[in-house]
A and B are shown apart, each in its own frame.
Chain A
Amino acid sequence: MTADRIFRGLFALYLLAFVAYLFAPLAIMSAAAFNTSRFPTVIPWQGTTLDWFSAMWADAAMWQALWTSAIVAVLVAAVALPVGTAAALVLTTLHARARSVAYAVMVSPLLTPGVVIGISTLILWRQVGVGGGIVLIVVAQTTFIICYVMLMVMARLQRFDRTQEEAALGLGASRAMVFRRVLLPFLRPALLASGGLAVLQSVENYNTTLFVRGFETPLTVFIATKVRTGLTPAVNALALVIIAATVIGAIAWEIARRRQVTARPRS
């Protein structure tokens, strides 16, 4: 009885420590956005203010960086989704030996350090006269973000009933129609999820982007530069907005998903 109680106490303590470890930095960082102090800190608390939010809002360089990141993210997703899906489709039709070789080749960018991808992309494209900039950021990020798309689509494809494809062909459908009417609707959840993941991966990437950015300043680079040139709680305000947007987005997604599930109870 007592041993059980001690165990449960320890377990609760561990859980508390675990959650604190995860969320304490975020909590402190978020709180600092409301402190009047010129540096992002909660101690000493010099007074509560929303000024940093308006400062952030008024920061033209921040908006420029956000815009650059958004363009890059959309382009990365636009390239990574079709290419990653195609790679997944090819891999699932290959036979055992060829498949494991092709698989290893295709996931290797995930295992390569981001810095290496950044530098090697820059060096390669220099040879043909393409310097750093949006194009190279997209190229460099896409090389490894494709892998995420491919892995997620592959996981979904493994549950695809191949006889559906045969049934469609047997009814006279062309390959294109099979893809559009049967395969694509089946892959939709995986495509949506990997598209979202591609955008997130792109926006948060720093180490690869840094080498290929040229004169562009995406959001991560912008924040990192701020650390050197004088960080103000305006960055905390920005972070809080991003966190809030993410949480709201996730909740909205989940609500939409549950609605769909209850609307179609057995399908």
Chain B
Amino acid sequence: MSHSVQLDGIGMTFGSTRAVGDVSFTVQAGEFFSILGPSGCGKTTILRMIAGFLEPTEGRVLIGGRDMRGLGPNQRPTAMIFQSLALFPLMPVWENIAFGLEARGMGRAERRKRAEELLRLIALEGYGDRMPGELSGGQRQRVAIARALAVEPGVLLLDEPLSALDLKLRQHMRAELRGLQKRTGVTFIYITHDQSEALAMSDRVAVMSNGLLQQVATPRQLYDNPATPFVARFVGETNAITGQIGAVGGGMARIDTAMGPLRGRADPHLAVGQKATLYIRPEALMPGTGANTLHARVSRMDFEGAFALVHGQFPDGAALTAAVPSTRLSDAPAPGTDASFFFAPEHAVVLADA
């Protein structure tokens, strides 16, 4: 039932603005796939092209191997959940859920029965005759999901559906969406600007910036092996130390910085002398000195329970963030002092500057 989605060099140009340029990737059938990026990066445009609300100006979309060119949104095996949910306010909940079945010509009694089954699935039994306006935000959310699932879509498209909810409900709905996806086996394509949402829920994530695809990878790969400076900075917290490539070899590179030579994992194609940046995660920095040592002036320490975030400045003015585990809090430098941090080279990534 669930379908794969293949984007084959799609692009979208509005007037003189290029919203999306030459994006290709394939979403496997049954996968929970997220498209992550800041607002205006083109992710919603991509979703609307998959749904058929927009016809790409270049390239094509294939769903389940079938070319979708020339097919409108009502002819595609997709269903979409909108940011605003777009429930029909003048129809009771059950008619909302059964709307897609009505469009397929199913009889009223059968529609009602199917709607009740879906209400059970989303734990809203007995709410069928309420109006959408009488439900809470989380309940409306679930009705929107049920309405989309009712048509048994091969692909479910979700356009930041959780962004209007408060934090607690959002976390709850994340788990619920993920569970629903596993139970139904439907391909989910999920749009978000919230990187923790994308990392927590997805099998794979595509990161977008300025209409261009940056990287497609599992959340783990994205975090550990960012392919571009944008991904390194956008996904998770990071410390960026600029310099020049000094040596490359064995999957590692030496970068010469204002704080001396530092080593990290690197692409073997980097050229000596090239301007580059070393990215290192806050939790990979340890107080003390070692083979790769950084110096910084500590300005502030925020205790967050499991760890403390140490903030400061490197000599070149760049910001330092280090996460010191609570168990090692006695090693943490005091604010206002100069401190040293070291890291293992395999925890750092060196990328050529864009």
Interface residues of A (CB under 8 A from B): 161, 163-164, 166-174, 177, 181-182, 185-186, 264-267
Contacts and interface: CB of A to CB of B under 8 A. Distances in A.
Contact of B51 (A170, A173, A181, A264): A170
Given A172-B74, A267-B89, A181 B99 contact: yes
Interface in B36-78: 51-53, 72-74, 78
A264 B131 contact: yes
B147 interface: yes
A169 B82 contact: no
A167 B82 contact: yes
B82 A163 contact: yes
A161 B84 contact: yes
24 contacts: A161-B86, A166-B53, A166-B82, A166-B86, A167-B80, A167-B82, A167-B86, A167-B88, A168-B99, A169-B53, A169-B74, A171-B99, A171-B148, A171-B151, A172-B74, A172-B103, A173-B74, A173-B99, A185-B91, A266-B133, A266-B134, A267-B131, A267-B132, A267-B134
A137 to B, nearest CB: 36
Given A169-B72, A169-B73, A174 B103 contact: yes
Contacts of B90: 185-186
B168 interface: no
A84 to B, nearest CB: 21
B255 interface: no
B269 interface: no
Nearest to A174: B74
Contacts of B134: 264-267
Given A177-B103, A266-B134, A164 B74 contact: no
A267 B130 CA distance: 10
Interface in B118-145: 131-134
Given A164-B88, A166-B86, A181-B88, 10 more contacts: A166-B82, A170-B73, A173-B102, A173-B103, A174-B103, A181-B99, A182-B88, A185-B91, A265-B134, A266-B131
Contacts of A172: 74, 100, 103-104, 151
Contacts of A264: 131, 133-134
A161 B99 CA distance: 17
B323 interface: no
A186 B86 CA distance: 13
Interface in B141-160: 147-148, 151
Nearest to B84: A163
A188 to B, nearest CB: 8
B79 interface: yes
A172 B53 CA distance: 12
A161 B87 CA distance: 10
Contacts of B89: 267
A161 B72 CA distance: 20
Contacts of A161: 84, 86
Interface of B: 51-53, 72-74, 78-80, 82, 84, 86-91, 99-100, 102-104, 131-134, 147-148, 151
A169 B100 CA distance: 9
A160 to B, nearest CB: 11
A170 B78 contact: yes
Contacts of A185: 90-91
Contacts of A267: 89, 131-134
A220 B131 CA distance: 46
A122 B242 CA distance: 84
Contacts of A166: 53, 73, 80, 82, 86
Contacts of A171: 74, 79, 99-100, 103, 147-148, 151
A150 B131 CA distance: 29
A174 B100 CA distance: 10
Contacts of A177: 102-103
B147 A164 contact: no
A181 B53 CA distance: 20
A181 to B, nearest CB: 7
A170 B87 CA distance: 12
Contacts of B86: 161, 163-164, 166-167
A174 B87 CA distance: 17
Contacts of B91: 181, 185
A171 B156 CA distance: 11
A161 B88 CA distance: 10
Contacts of B151: 171-172
A170 B103 contact: no
B138 to A, nearest CB: 15
Which among B51, B78, B99, B132 has the highest number of chain A CB atoms within 10 Å? B99
A85 to B, nearest CB: 17
Nearest to A185: B90
Closest 5 CB pairs of A and B: A267-B133, A171-B100, A167-B86, A163-B86, A267-B131
Contacts of B148: 171
Given A169-B72, A171-B147, A264-B133, A181 B102 contact: yes
A264 B153 CA distance: 33
A167 B88 CA distance: 9
B211 to A, nearest CB: 22
Nearest to B83: A163
Contacts of B131: 264, 266-267
A165 to B, nearest CB: 9
A191 B103 CA distance: 25
Nearest to B72: A169
B99 to A, nearest CB: 5
Nearest to B48: A166
Contacts of A182: 88
B136 to A, nearest CB: 10
